[in-house]
Amino acid sequence: MLSNRLIGLLSVFTRKEMTRFYEFSHSPYHNKHEEVKVLVTHFNQIYPDFSENKVNRVVLFKLLFPGQKHDQPKLALIFTYCLRLVEQFLIIEQFREKEGGHRVLLLQNLRQKAQNRQYEKVLKIQDTWLDKNELRDGEHFNWRFQTLAEADQYFSLQARYAKGDSLQRKQDSLDHFYLSEKLKAACEMAVRRRVTNQEYKNPLMAALLKELESDFEKYLEVPPVLVYYHLHKLILSQAEEDYQKALVVVREQARFFPLKELQNLYNYLQNHCIQQINQGKLDFLEEIFKLYKFQLEDRLLFLNGHLPEWNYKNIVTTGLLLGEHEWVKNFIEKYKADLVPEVAEIAYSYNLAYYFYITKAYDKVLELLLHLEYSDVRYALSAKLLLLKTYFDLDEYEALLSLSDSFRQYLQRKKEISDFNRRGYYQLLKFTRKIFQIKMKVAYASKERSLKDIEKLRLEMAEAEVRFSRAWLEGKVEEVFQMLQ
C-alpha cells in the first residue's frame, strides 16, 4: 500500500496543503462520495505518518466499510475516486496562483454571457494589475497578450474601436512572449547540447537573432528578451566580456523575475564559472564567490526557507580557496541557524572542521570530527578524507594507517557508493600512503632513493584513471620533494 500513487502524493503535501485538501474534499461541489470523505479525514488525522500499519488495505477497508467482508476492488474504486479528487485539487491550487490567467477566463465567460458592464469592469482591473505588477517575465507578456486578444474580440463584437492601439499592443505582447520563450529554450538547448551531445533543431533562431540585433533598442524594456539574449550569447561564446555583460543585465533586471526563474538565471552564470574553473581559469573562483554573495543577499540559495547544506559547503569551500578566512568563519556561524534542522549540526561541524584544517588548527579538527556520527554517506566520506589529511599534516603515522584501513572497509561495506567513487577513493588512499611513506623515510633513506620514489609516484599518479583530491596530492608530493632540496 505504501507504493500507492495516492499515498505517494499525499506524503509530499505540506501541512497547509493537507488541511486545504481535507476542506476541499468535504465540499459537496467537489465531492459527494461519503467514503472518500471518511478516507481523507483519516489521512488528515494521521498526516504525516503514512506508515504501513495505518494505511494497509485491511485497516482502511474496515474503516470505510465496517462489518463487511473484505472486497479489494471496492476499496480500489474509492482510492481511484480519491486520487482523481487530489488531482483536481492540485489543478485548482495551481490555478489559484495564476492571477492573470483566471481573470482572462472570467473575461471570456462574461463576454459569452453578454455581461458587458461587468466585463469592462473586470477588464479595467486586469489592465491595472498588468500595469502595476512588477514582474515582467515571459508569463507577464503571455497574460498581456491573452488579455488584449480577448479585449480585441470583445470590442470587435461591440463594433467599438475606441481602443485603437489594442491590436498593435496585442501583437507586440505576442512578439515579446514568443521571443522570450524562444530565447529561453535556446539557452537550455545550448547547455544540453554541450552536456549530452544531443543535437536540437531550431530553424527560426537565426532569423530571430537577426531581427533582435537589427533593432535591439526596442527590446531594452522587455526584461526576459534582454536577459535571455545575453545569456544565450554567453553560452555560445564563453567569452569573458559576454559573461560580464550577462552578469550586469541579470543584476539590473532581477526585480522583474519570480524567485524560481531568477534562481535559474544565476545557475547559468554559475555553470559558466564552473566550466572556466575546470579549464584552469582560477580567477573565476572570485566570480563564483561573488555570485554566491549576491544570491545570499537576495536569499536565492534558500529552499523552503532553509539554506541547503551543499550550498553551505560550496560557499565555505570556495571562500577558503580564496583565502577569505574571516568571512568564511562569520558565514559558518551566521547561517548555521538557516540550515535544515535535521542536518544542521553535522553540516556546521564538518564545515567548521574544514575551516580549522585550512587555518591549521588541527587539534580543533580532530575535536570536531572524532565525536560525530554520520548517517549521510557523503558527509562520512568527506569527514574521513579530512581526517586523513589532518593526520598526514600532523605526521601521525599510526593514526593515518589505521584510518586508511578503516576507510577501505567502509568503502567495501557501503553498497550505495558508486563504483567510480569507490575506485577514486581507493586510489586516493593508495597514493596518500605512498607519499606519506616517502615522507617518513626522508630522514634516513638516501636522497637518490627518495627522489627516484617521488618520480615513480608522479608517473603513477599521472597515469591513474581516477584522481580524487588531485591538487592536494600533488601539493603533498611537492612538499616532500622540497624537503629533499
pLDDT for 485: 79
Whether the predicted pLDDT of 34 surpasses 90: yes
Mean of pLDDT values over 366-385:
89
Closest CA to 108 of 92, 97, 96, 119: 119
Mean pLDDT of 130-142: 93
Q: What average pLDDT does range 362-386 have in this prediction?
A: 90
Residue 159's pLDDT band, with cuts at 50, 70 and 90, is confident
Asked if residue 226 lies in contact with residue 213, where contact means CB atoms within 8 angstroms, the answer is no
For residues 29 and 25, what is the distance between their CA atoms, to the nearest angstrom? 9
| Per-residue pLDDT at 195 | 79
What's the confidence (pLDDT) of residue 466? 64
Q: Is the pLDDT of residue 243 over 90?
A: yes
Backbone angles phi, psi at 339, to 5 degrees: -75, 160
Complete DSSP assignment for 371-423: T----SHHHHHHHHHHHHHHHHHTT-HHHHHHHHHHHHHHHHH-TTS-HHHHH
% of the chain at pLDDT higher than 70: 98
* Confidence at residue 470, expressed as pLDDT on a 0 to 100 scale: 87
Would you state the pLDDT for residue 124?
Answer: 94
Average pLDDT over residues 427-443: 92
| pLDDT recorded at residue 100 | 83
439-469 tens-digit pLDDT? 998 888 888 998 999 999 999 998 887 678 8
In the chain, the amino acid numbered 342 is: E
1 or 375, which is more confident? 375
Given pLDDT bands bounded at 50, 70 and 90, which one contains residue 199? confident
The mean predicted confidence, pLDDT, of the chain is: 92
Question: For the chain, what are the domain ranges?
Answer: 5-96, 113-181, 384-485
Q: 43: which strand partners?
A: none
Query: 373-377, 426-430, 435-439: which range is least confident on average?
Result: 373-377
Using CA atoms, how far residue 214 sits from 202, 207, 362, in Å, is: 20, 10, 61
Mean pLDDT of 217-238: 96
- Segment 144-158, tens digit of pLDDT: 999 999 998 898 887
DSSP string covering 429-447, please?
Answer: HHHHHHHHHHHHHTTTS-H
Asked if pLDDT for residue 372 goes beyond 90, the answer is: no
Residue in this structure with the C-alpha cell 473575461, named with its chain if needed: 107
pLDDT at 157: 84
Q: In a 10 Å sphere around its CB, with 0-12 CB exposed, 13-18 middle and 19+ buried, how is residue 54 labelled?
A: middle
pTM recorded for the entire structure: 0.82
Tell me: pLDDT of 2 over 50. no
pLDDT digits (tens, 9 = 90+) for 40-62: 999 999 999 999 999 999 999 99
